[in-house]
Amino acid sequence: MAEKKQNIRNFSIIAHIDHGKSTLADRLLELTDSVAKRDMEEQLLDNMDLERERGITIKAHAVKLDYKAKDGETYELNLIDTPGHVDFNYEVSRSLAACEGAVLIVDASQGIEAQTLANTYLALDHNLEIVPVINKIDLPAADPERVAHEVEDVIGIPCLDSPRVSAKTGENVEAVLEEIVKLVPPPENRDNLPLRALIFDSIYDSYRGVIVYVRVMDGKIKPGDTMRMMATGAEFTVVETGYMRATSLEPTKQLSSGEVGYITASIKTVSDARVGDTVTTAENPAAEALPGYRKVNPMVFCGIYPADGADYENLRDALQKLQLNDAALSYEPETSGALGFGFRCGFLGLLHLEIIQERLEREYNLDLVTTIPSVIYKIHLTDRSVVEIDNPCNYPDPATIDFSEEPVVEAHIYSPPEYVGAIMDLCQDRRGSYEGMTYLDADRVDLKYTLPLNEIIYDFFDVLKSRTRGYASFDYEMKGYQKSSLVKLDVLLNGDVIDALSFIIHADKAYPRARKIAEKLKENIPRQMFEIPVQIAIGGKVIARETVKAMRKDVLAKCYGGDITRKKKLLEKQKEGKKRMRQFGTVEVPQDAFMAVLKLDD
Amino acid sequence: MKKIGLYLHIPFCSSKCPYCDFYSMRSDDALREEYVAALIKNIRFSAEQYCCKADTLYIGGGTPSVLGKEKLYKIVCEAVSAFDVKDEITVECNPHGIEDGFFERLCEAGVNRISLGLQSANDAERKRLGRRADSEEITRVISSAKRAGINNISLDVMLGIPDSTPESLKATLDYCIDSDVTHISGYILKLEENTPFYKMRERLNLPDEDSVCDMYFFMCEYLSENGFSQYEISNFSKPGFESRHNLKYWNCDEYLGLGPSAHSFIGGERFFYPDSISDYLSAPAAEYEGRGGDFEEYVMLRLRLSEGIKEKEALNRFGISLDALRKKAERFADEGLLLCDTEGIRLTRKGFLLSNTVISELIY
């Protein structure tokens, strides 16, 4: 039997959104004195503003905790926090691959959710030891016994004796640490093998270059070694190795097998240190990379334009900087008749898109206009060639199209049985094909559907939540392409096609969607000094029409005596409001109108 | 030297109307006494400082009439002697609670014009606006002003009052016409933030935009049929009875405003006294807003007048021809919002209603 590194435990935490992952992580940090009291703030690991606001984890995080257990030994606990959204499934799988165990947090009042289950199965696939923890026992609706039975029934792991805790009040949290020590197996000592370290995250730091987060599987790495990325072949001289502490990095002489830590090597962009890649050394390279690497490809595309054309360069700089830290983000310049100069950007999913957009707006102070997201369609032309279209503006002349294909996903929806009807209606409406239904237990079913990706990128999750009063959860993975009947819809304002509002849609959906878009635009385009026809057309044929009536009056109040300055400010404000609008010919369209078209709820 | 307009602000009201965001407060006699003393001091001091004459005096508020006839008499006499005002002297009055002999006393001081807040001839509508006088009282006040010899009377009318209708507006305009006044101001109710109306805006039964526009056009039309010509977006008068004081604002001429929240434009500078009666009482200190009176301001203000901006005047005052502006104005002319000719540019009635949009497009 291989020798073990007895005092190391590597684990991640699996939880559904709001089940208390970040709060539990906070308690673990406190209990292990990893953070000075004065530095403690809520959700310490979620250190992006966005993460704290939305209560989600976007980037993976890792932290080393020193824990003196009841057996008298001090253990090195490496907590690898994982993102909690389908857009980041691949990152989750890499984080799990870096661990021997996973703490499964289940809400004592709500039970298991789809995301939890999907990630738990992912953890089981990686042979991780699962440490179930029942959280939120302080809630009045908590029913830990029922939830424990559910975990045993659904996942098939013992749970009846698992810790019942309240991360919020701190009750019994120490039991979680004890369980981790007891249940999670220590890593094997494989120091003698050639280096293989799994990259589970990397972040860009403007002083040190990329900081690569790794789990060392085999061998050792130390400053001065020449590290080699096995997928890209890129080589760098290691500058520093160390451990991640809660609020700082702690340099160390080397990292060896079983350990979790970081490497810096003056790497300039995160695309040279891709998540899932294997680090080895040029001096003594490993024969084979660790399994599971794949380059993540964007699935959802949209145009991002500066509201003020003068910000184009700033937008480019910002995208460049974000990409340093986000290998999944892609962008290339594009031009729109309506919006001017901007970028076609690719994302893992809609959440990823929203995050990037918000970061551009907040961290780089840019006003943006975003076009309707699109997936990649494969258009087969009559000349037997195939074009891939992620931008409606490049949609070929329908006369030259033989047939079209669109991407589909395999989706799992977990829900209490009483919402099955509502979910089936929704999936039907989204052109899903039913693949099967499994009862996980008396209170929960797993509905399997094949769904076109373009039907779920806008608002599927929100609608699902609202139709099931928040009970259903949802997970998907790419399945491939299927034949489809597509058309391109054009929006015309005052007779002019607004290219930035065009989009590709299934033919059956064209009419209802066109009507809804026309209505939305009518609602969101403010009355102007003349009447504006809003038309939606396929090819040259108008299939929906609304009219924005002409504005008749603006404010006409008592003139404030001689207060000319106030009057001037009012006019300036009016003009300022116009700046947030886009001029299309003679029509002014506020940016909200673009968003409104994007978010068509049912 | 060109004469200026003198404005005096009286920041007192007996009660606050729910739509009003002007600076005013309730007062007792001691406060009013103290304020009048401070204002008179400020009048004397300013007269020395600016060393100019005024041809118009306008006492506005708030509600100047709450000061009572003796205090107003004192103020008017002071201002008249300090600035040698001879031409137009206006006092704003709330028709509610006017004391006996009020207009006679004002007349003695030289007041020759009264502006009355009628708002509506319909008692229920006026009540909604927090106005306490009933129509009988208003009628009485108008005739007592006339008896005192003040025949130049302006009535304020409001459009878009909650629950109002075209019929009730017509009744109000008929009331004005029958009262044989010389001047009518017709404003559209605007919900200003921080007013009770703004807070209850969802529950107010306000006429919709289209009907307010129709009422406005009706007002313009009906008043002109009855001898009141429209000389400004919201102002109508019998020939020769335009408000000379208010015309100074729109002509970009000089005026001096004294009292908290009063604004001035004099010697090319704009300044005002902040909205604080306590600061004003202890030591009036104007806040400067910088230079004013440039071409853009001229365009902004003059376009409120029916005669609009004139090529000749623009050249004389600013050395700027209107050609560039005409080009910008073209698309509005196409929409029937303004008229452009060799003489100048002016808004149509349709354009008056969209004046903010049109003007901001023209000058920015």
Q: Is the pLDDT of residue A464 over 70?
A: yes
Q: Output A86 or A145, whichever has higher pLDDT.
A: A145
What are the two backbone dihedrals, phi and then psi, of residue A92, each rounded to the nearest 5 degrees?
-60, -45
pLDDT of the residue at B99: 93
In angstroms, the CA A370 to CA A598 distance is 9
Most confident range, picked from A69-73, A83-87, A560-564: A69-73
Name the residue in chain A with its Cα closest to that of B190: A557
In the block, which residue shows the tokens 């008298």? A72
Using the beta-carbon criterion (under 8 Å), do A561 and B262 form an inter-chain contact?
Answer: yes
pLDDT tens string B25-48: 999 999 999 999 999 999 999 999
Quick one: which of B64, B53, B66 has its CA closest to B111? Answer: B64
Q: What is the CA radius of gyration of chain A?
A: 27
Using the beta-carbon criterion (under 8 Å), do B190 and A562 form an inter-chain contact?
Answer: no
pLDDT of the residue at A46: 54
In angstroms, the CA A498 to CA A491 distance is 6
Q: Which two tokens stand for residue A468?
A: 């099931």
pLDDT tens string A383-425: 999 999 988 988 999 899 999 999 999 988 888 899 999 999 9
In the block, which residue shows the tokens 């595309």? A301
Within 10 angstroms of residue A310's Cβ, the number of other Cβ atoms is 8
In angstroms, the CA A166 to CA A184 distance is 21
pLDDT confidence band for A83 (50 / 70 / 90): low
Using the beta-carbon criterion (under 8 Å), do B357 and A586 form an inter-chain contact?
Answer: no
Task: Name the percent of chain A lying above pLDDT 70.
Answer: 90
In angstroms, the CA A322 to CA A362 distance is 13
Residues of B within 8 A of A574 (CB-CB) are 356-357, 360
Single-letter amino acid, residue A440: L
Interface list for B 100-159 with A (CB within 8 A): none
Q: Output B136 or A598, whichever has higher pLDDT.
A: B136
Q: Point out the residue among B185, B234, B300 whose CB comes nearest to the CB of A568.
A: B300
Residues of B within 8 A of A561 (CB-CB) are 7, 60, 249, 257, 262-263
Task: Name the percent of chain A lying above pLDDT 90.
Answer: 41
pLDDT of the residue at A373: 85
Using the beta-carbon criterion (under 8 Å), do B212 and A553 form an inter-chain contact?
Answer: yes
Burial category of A9 from C-beta neighbours within 10 Å (exposed 0-12, middle 13-18, buried 19 and up): buried
Pick the residue of A528, A555, A564, A586 with the most B CBs within 10 A to test the interface with B by mutation: A564
Using the beta-carbon criterion (under 8 Å), do B335 and A530 form an inter-chain contact?
Answer: yes
Residues of B within 8 A of A576 (CB-CB) are none
Q: Which residues pair with A497 in a beta bridge?
A: A492
pLDDT of the residue at A424: 96
Q: State mean pLDDT over A208-217.
A: 92
Within 10 angstroms of residue B112's Cβ, the number of other Cβ atoms is 17
Element (H or E) spanning A323, and its range?
Answer: helix A312-324
pLDDT of the residue at A26: 83
Within 10 angstroms of residue A128's Cβ, the number of other Cβ atoms is 23
Interface list for B 200-259 with A (CB within 8 A): 209-210, 212-213, 216, 233-234, 246, 249, 255, 257
The mean pLDDT value of chain A amounts to 85
In angstroms, the CA A213 to CA A201 distance is 5
Pick the residue of A527, A529, A548, A566 with the most B CBs within 10 A to test the interface with B by mutation: A529
Shortest Cα–Cα distance, B1 to chain A (Å): 21
Degrees, nearest 5: CA angle A532-A538-A541? 70
Single-letter amino acid, residue A3: E
Alpha helices (H) along chain B: 29-50, 69-83, 102-109, 123-128, 135-147, 166-178, 196-199, 209-225, 244-251, 277-282, 295-302, 311-318, 323-334, 349-353, 355-363
Q: Is the pLDDT of residue A203 over 50?
A: yes
In the block, which residue shows the tokens 């401070």? B38
Q: Output A19 or B80, whichever has higher pLDDT.
A: B80
What are the two backbone dihedrals, phi and then psi, of residue A23, each rounded to the nearest 5 degrees?
-65, -40
Q: Lowest-confidence range among A83-97, A131-145, A268-282, B320-334?
A: A83-97
Q: Point out the residue among A556, A561, A568 whose CB comes nearest to the CB of B257.
A: A561
Single-letter amino acid, residue A106: V
pLDDT tens string A7-58: 999 999 888 766 777 788 888 888 887 766 555 555 555 555 555 555 444 4
Q: Is the pLDDT of residue A465 over 90?
A: no
- Strand A196-205 and strand A209-218: pairing? antiparallel
pLDDT of the residue at A430: 93
In angstroms, the CA B314 to CA B91 distance is 33
Whether A414 contacts A439, CB under 8 Å: no
Residue B114, CA distances (Å) to A245, B106, B274 in order: 78, 10, 26
Burial category of A149 from C-beta neighbours within 10 Å (exposed 0-12, middle 13-18, buried 19 and up): middle
Q: State mean pLDDT over A234-258.
A: 92
pLDDT of the residue at B10: 96
Q: Which residues pair with A404 in a beta bridge?
A: A379, A484
Residues of A with CB under 8 A from a CB of B: 529-530, 551-565, 567-568, 570-572, 574-575, 578, 586
Whether A454 contacts A375, CB under 8 Å: yes
In angstroms, the CA B201 to CA B199 distance is 6
In angstroms, the CA A203 to CA A326 distance is 8
The mean pLDDT value of chain B amounts to 94
Using the beta-carbon criterion (under 8 Å), do B60 and A561 form an inter-chain contact?
Answer: yes
Interface confidence (ipTM) of the complex: 0.82
Pick the residue of B4, B115, B232, B249 with the most A CBs within 10 A to test the interface with A by mutation: B249
In angstroms, the CA B300 to CA B168 distance is 33
pLDDT of the residue at A470: 72
Using the beta-carbon criterion (under 8 Å), do B7 and A561 form an inter-chain contact?
Answer: yes
Using the beta-carbon criterion (under 8 Å), do B209 and A559 form an inter-chain contact?
Answer: no
Cβ of residue B363 closer than 8 Å to a chain A Cβ: yes
- Strand B309-310 and strand B287-291: pairing? unpaired
In the block, which residue shows the tokens 């057996």? A71
Q: Lowest-confidence range among A22-26, A560-564, B77-81, B294-298?
A: A560-564
Residues of A within 8 A of B7 (CB-CB) are 561-562
Residues of A within 8 A of B360 (CB-CB) are 571-572, 574-575, 578
Using the beta-carbon criterion (under 8 Å), do A555 and B356 form an inter-chain contact?
Answer: yes
CA B120 to chain centre: 17
Name the residue in chain B with its Cα closest to that of A565: B289
Beta-carbon contacts of A474 under 8 Å, excluding residues fewer than 6 positions away, are A86, A114, A115, A411, A412, A413, A414, A460, A461, A464
Task: Name the percent of chain B lying above pLDDT 90.
Answer: 84
pLDDT of the residue at A1: 47
Q: Coil, strand, or helix at residue B204?
A: coil
Q: Coil, strand, or helix at residue A138?
A: coil
Residues of A within 8 A of B265 (CB-CB) are 562, 564
pLDDT of the residue at A49: 56
Q: State mean pLDDT over B130-151.
A: 93
Q: Which two tokens stand for residue A194?
A: 């050639």
Q: Which residues pair with A449 in a beta bridge?
A: A411, A434
Q: Is the pLDDT of residue A602 over 60?
A: no
Name the residue in chain A with its Cα closest to that of B258: A562
Residues of A within 8 A of B246 (CB-CB) are 559
**Side by side, which strands form the sheet with B255-258?**
B229-232, B235-237, B183-188, B152-159, B113-119, B88-93, B54-61, B4-10, B255-258, B263-266, B269-272, B287-291
Burial B65-101 (b: 16+ CB within 10 A, else e): bbbbbebbbbbbebbbebbebeebbbbbbbbbbbeee
